[in-house]
Amino acid sequence: MNLLKSLIFACLVLLSEVSFSTIYGEDTRLDRFEFSTPSVLALSSSSVALISPSTITPMNDRFVKLQGPTLAASESLCSGERFENQPVLALCSGVLIAKDIVLTAGHCVPNEEQCQSTKFVFGLELENETQIDVLVTHKNIYDCGELLYTQSGNAKENIADFALIRLARPVDDHPIAKIDRSSKLLTGTKLMAFGYPNGIPLKYIDGNIRSNNLDLPFFVTNLGSFNRNSGSPVFDSETGGLQGILFDGEEDFVLDGQCFRAKHCSLDGCHGESVTRILAVLPILDQLEVQLHSK
């Protein structure tokens, strides 16, 4: 690993403690402008990006511009890697589960200080494949009101990883994800997720459950997720019910000479991507008396 990449890697681990992932089988990532199914579009609209205020540049009374390095520059990518020219903007991903409550990974918001220094942004997406600048409205940018709960964990320790944030004001123009309280998942169940892989604008991914030990607070999938997909909502493709959030997985990239390429695994290869079960989150939500939109 070259020196520049080592420094970038170390900084990311120290600053955001975000886990790593990879591609299983074919790369199914799609930009939002490539979605065609209304139900998929609706589900994706509950996704929210966690970003640093330093990426925001005011434009006028309505819009701000979000700015960051390209994915190629950020990750020292080899030429030809997918999305190499898209900007790195998000620190983590999340999902709206009540009118003013966001669910994300615990390691993304480990304390109140981190919460207060994070912006929660809806609409971080591209409208076409040639778009360079990412603009969002002031209305789509939310502050942290308070950190309600956080718990950092990992798959090796069999500890659920999630955080619950109350936004400073309610969200009135984005759908609330429907919680699946039954969550009767089987190995092979088809899934889809929405988030910000490596911090670039919103992407869709799909996959299946690889293992589902009900004694654990998470299940394992072959969703092709990446660093900063942590907190991405994972839905049952058939019912649209929220099943959990991504939080742990494989390494993103492998060294190829002097640059890096996305790591590829077979659909049943490598370790898989871990998803905190929504059932592990529900007891805390019930204690907090959060009014949910349940299926």
Residue range 50-62: average pLDDT?
96
pLDDT of residue 267: 67
Greater model confidence, 219 or 185: 219
Q: What is the mean pLDDT of the chain?
A: 87
Domain map (residue ranges) of the chain:
1-295
pLDDT of residue 14: 36
The span from the CA of 22 to the CA of 227, in Å, is 9
Greater model confidence, 277 or 262: 277
Greater model confidence, 88 or 273: 88
Name the β-bridge partners of 235. 192, 242
Q: Which residues fall within 8 angstroms of residue 227, CB to CB, at 6 or more apart?
A: 12, 18, 19, 20, 21, 197, 198, 199, 252
Q: Is the pLDDT of residue 96 over 80?
A: yes
223 token code pair: 């969703």
pLDDT digits 0-9 by tens, 152-162: 977 677 888 99
Q: Considering the entire predicted model, what is its pTM?
A: 0.87
Q: Is the pLDDT of residue 18 over 70?
A: no
pLDDT digits 0-9 by tens, 112-123: 999 999 999 999
pLDDT of residue 24: 61
- The identity of residue 4, as a single letter, is L
Q: Where are the alpha helices (DSSP H) in the chain?
A: 3-16, 38-44, 71-75, 112-116, 278-287
CATH 3.40.50.1100 fits 1-295, yes or no: no
Q: Which residues fall within 8 angstroms of residue 26, CB to CB, at 6 or more apart?
A: none
pLDDT digits 0-9 by tens, 198-246: 999 999 999 999 988 888 999 999 897 778 899 999 999 999 999 999 9
- The identity of residue 111, as a single letter, is N
Q: Which DSSP symbol is given to 13?
A: H
- Grade residue 22 by pLDDT with cuts at 50, 70 and 90: low
Q: Which DSSP symbol is given to 176?
A: P
